[in-house]
A and B are shown apart, each in its own frame.
Chain A
Amino acid sequence: MLARIRSAAIHGIEAYPVDVEVDVGRGLPSFAIVGLPDPAVQEAKERVRAAIRNAGYDIPPRRITVNLAPADIRKAGPAFDLPMAIGVLTAAAQVRLRGLPETMLVGELSLDGTLRPITGTLPVALAARAAGMRALVVPDRNGPEASLVPGLAVHAARTLAEVLGHLDGTALLPVLPPAPPAAAGEGEDDVDFNEVRGHAAARRALEIAAAGGHNVLLLGPPGTGKTMLARRVPTILPPLERSEAMVVRQIYSVAGLLPAGAPAGRVRPFRSPHHTTSAAAMTGGGIPPRPGEVTLAHHGVLFMDELPEFRRDVLEALRQPMEDRVVTVARVASTVRFPASFMLLAAMNPCPCGHHGDPARDCLCTPPQVRRYRARLSGPLLDRIDLHVGVPRLSGDDIALAGGAESSCVMRGRVREARGRQTARFGTPGTTNALLSARQLRRLCRLDESGPAFLRTATDRLALSARAHDRVLRVARTIADLEGDVTVTAAHVAEAIQYRVLDRPAAGSLDTL
């Protein structure tokens, strides 16, 4: 006899429906799984066998064949355990179940028949709704995640027996109430910008970066507060849009980081991978490909402390997602595209010993050492970073002088207004000045009459590099948005130039000075 159970598999951050077909027929007793199963799926037969027996049923001593359709895509993971067990029991006519055609089942079985949580429940729920399913049965730990999708009856089960009881109508599982969409204020951060004393220049630069979605490089000696500042950037970003929040949850669901590892509510993600992270962990990889750090930082902040210490291939691998806002992971079996629209926040010491330009401590590095250290960041990578900001050491006097600082809430208010102006200009929410193409830039960053002359003088006098030019305009546009000005003026340009430390021979001190 044949049974067909609806289930789903993950591809990228999305799920597609899979039919688990089970045939129990005549022949030597065996259990075969076909349809490109990976080892975890292959091993399902042992878990299914034990779980069925421990749930109080018998495995029929017959020839059992399981097919995962469509058969040409590689299936991975243990989420097919539950549909296989249900399929075997149905096909062997041990149970009589109702509603199977409109119910999707996913879940990993343990040998005693309890259901264990799986990764990617949220995309599965979305796929279930898209495939016209009425109900979805998931392991109980995945219940809250699945109930984020409205318009689908989600049932959370603890054991195989509970699933069987629900499907044969003897003990119905309740429908989980749909989870309310995350409120804007939910999950307030435990850090705030008002805890940072001094650093007025860096705070201003980070506010500009947040307003325009610009990438930032913080440059300063160790222990001056670069990390402290970076940690607080998510607190001044506007909360995620609903649709953005859903995509972020989907990513974290696939990565198996829900609920504990994901940002709460509509707070933007903040990822800070260690500098030993491999390129695959950064961009995503593995079989099947799982999202990497750039994807986990989607719609949020990717913080890379000690930027030059990252491996060269990791740094170069960042270039494509920074340009395209998606990362393509190509493997022999399949090509997966993960979203990767993040704001890069990087921090670095000015030299290997960290004290270049610090009057309090002598730098012990030779000029070639400093040069080599900086050369680890390739031009094309630096090209994608709009603001370079010096974070100097503060003296004790200055820390005492620095009064009460502004809170994240106040800064976020200004950022939100600036973003509102960008949305009005571009017509699409979420588009920021950082994403302007060269042509848009020329059209939208019109300088008023004082601007072009000033920019020319500054380029000559300050020996700004050519690549700095477009970046300066882009940042000047955001500064004008923050100030509420329609046209970009010389004053905006002047301030933007201040945030190009590395393009300035003297200030960036790429030479011996």
Chain B
Amino acid sequence: MAGSRDDIRAVASDDAAYPAALRTIADPPPVLYVRGTVRPGDVRAVAVVGTRRASAYGAQAARYLAGGLARNGVTVVSGLARGIDAVAHDAALLAGGRTLAVLGCGVDVTYPPEHRRLAERIVASGALLAEVPPGTPPLRFQFPRRNRLISGLCAGVVVVEGREDSGALITACAALEQGRDVFAVPGPIFDPRTAAPHGLLRDGAAPVTCAEDILDALGWPVTDPAVPDVGPPLNGEEEQVFAHLELTPQTTDEIVLRSRLRAAAVARSLVVLECRGLVTVLPGPRYVRRFAGGPVGKAQARHWSSSSRPPKPAR
């Protein structure tokens, strides 16, 4: 796949198309290679990063947060790696938002190879960026350097999951040096993959339980309604199935058992709800509602997050 392509542009740091946020960091790359488009609106960006070997919980958290950010007009930035990165990009795209991927290899080289399709989708609704020239193979040492660009492009960095030595911590450190906010997603304490976010929380990062937490902290408006307008009203069955959906993944069988509806009714309602964008399908298949819930659920989440948020980390 390596080789020159027509759609790659080299953007110098004095170019108008050069992302403004990067000019503010200590060592901005003199030239940035771009596939896709970077827009002025992409200054409102948040990075969602984490382990390549995500747990089901981590993947769901990344999907939930990245989706929520994207729906509120925030550009989601990540590194196109397996695991959390890929989920974050995918969720942003599915939400119809913008996403930028900063690569450690040339923008015409897809690594890992199974993300070729994902990369094409990103080019269509965002951009692939790299400071190394096209054709550069993915080499280990380039990835840590790349991480400073991920944080540099953003106003904040969300660390979802990672072990003690996770690359996400490199991004978080770079974010602190660059004066960006650092957020961390709490998780089960026995899972070694929560070591990185919990370490950051101990050091003063802001805990995140929903996209609104991040928007509040950055002072950006919450524009997305709790449950968006999805066209004609739901019918009785669909309403009932939706009422039984939670943010914890459930199988069709579990929904059948709780709702006391027929399996056929649950099956067709889930497809309708998915088409309306109200439910997300996770592997299994398991189903979660796309939004934190009705007005009640959301108000509660806001209340807790605003009263128990620790002071911002000192910078």
Contact = CB atoms under 8 A, between A and B. Distances in A.
Contact of B254 (A357, A398, A508): A398
Interface string B31-60: 000000000000000000000000111010
Interface string B246-287: 000101111011000011101111111011010011111110
A357 B270 contact: no
A509 B283 contact: yes
B62 to A, nearest CB: 9
Given A201-B253, A203-B263, A367-B114, A495 B284 contact: no
Chain A contact-residue range equals: 35 or more
Contacts of B225: none
B112 interface: yes
Contacts of A501: 285
Contacts of A356: 283
A362 interface: yes
B83 interface: yes
Contacts of B272: 494
A454 B238 CA distance: 15
Interface stretch (A150-158, A260-268, A325-333, A455-463): A455-463
B282 A357 contact: yes
B63 interface: yes
Interface in A395-449: 395, 398, 401-402
Nearest to B267: A498
B253 A392 contact: yes
Interface in A228-275: none
A204 B114 contact: no
Contacts of B63: 513
A191 interface: no
Contacts of B286: 357, 359, 392
B257 A398 contact: yes
Nearest to B249: A359
A499 B266 CA distance: 12
A513 B87 contact: yes
A368 B284 contact: no
Contacts of B10: none
Interface residues of B, number: 42
Contact of B264 (A395, A495, A506): A495
A200 interface: yes
Nearest to B287: A507
A498 B270 contact: yes
A199 B263 CA distance: 9
Looking at B266, B271, B280, which has the most chain A CB atoms within 10 Å of its CB?
B271
Contact of A367 (B55, B82, B281): B82
B251 A390 contact: yes
B275 A458 contact: yes
Given A511-B86, A513-B59, A201 B284 contact: no
A362 B63 CA distance: 18
Nearest to A368: B114
B56 A357 contact: yes
A200 B83 contact: no
Given A390-B284, A495-B271, A506-B281, A200 B87 contact: no
A371 B115 CA distance: 12
B118 interface: yes
A506 B94 CA distance: 10
Contacts of A106: none
Contacts of A497: 271
B90 interface: yes
A350 B286 CA distance: 14
A101 to B, nearest CB: 63
B285 A491 contact: no
Nearest to B274: A462
Contacts of B280: 506
Contact of B256 (A200, A358, A509): A200
A454 B267 CA distance: 15
Contacts of B264: 204, 479, 495
A353 interface: no
Interface string A336-369: 0000000000000010000011110010000110
A27 to B, nearest CB: 78
A357 B56 CA distance: 7
Given A495-B268, A504-B281, A398 B253 contact: yes
A305 B118 CA distance: 32
A507 B285 contact: yes
A179 interface: no
Contacts of A454: 275
Nearest to B91: A513
A178 interface: no
Interface in B103-154: 112, 114-115, 118
A507 B284 CA distance: 7
A512 interface: yes
B268 A491 contact: yes
A394 interface: yes
A402 B264 CA distance: 16
Given A201-B252, A357-B282, A402-B257, 11 more contacts: A198-B257, A201-B256, A359-B56, A359-B249, A359-B284, A392-B253, A395-B254, A398-B257, A492-B268, A506-B94, A513-B59
Interface of B: 55-57, 59, 63, 82-83, 86-87, 90, 94, 112, 114-115, 118, 249, 251-254, 256-257, 262-264, 266-272, 274-275, 277, 280-286
29 contacts: A198-B253, A199-B253, A200-B253, A200-B256, A200-B257, A200-B263, A202-B253, A204-B263, A204-B267, A357-B56, A357-B284, A357-B285, A359-B57, A359-B286, A368-B112, A368-B114, A390-B284, A392-B284, A402-B253, A458-B275, A461-B274, A461-B275, A479-B264, A494-B268, A494-B272, A498-B268, A507-B283, A509-B283, A512-B115
The 6 A-B residue pairs with the shortest CB-CB distance in the complex, in nearest-first order:
A357-B283, A509-B283, A494-B268, A204-B263, A201-B252, A357-B284
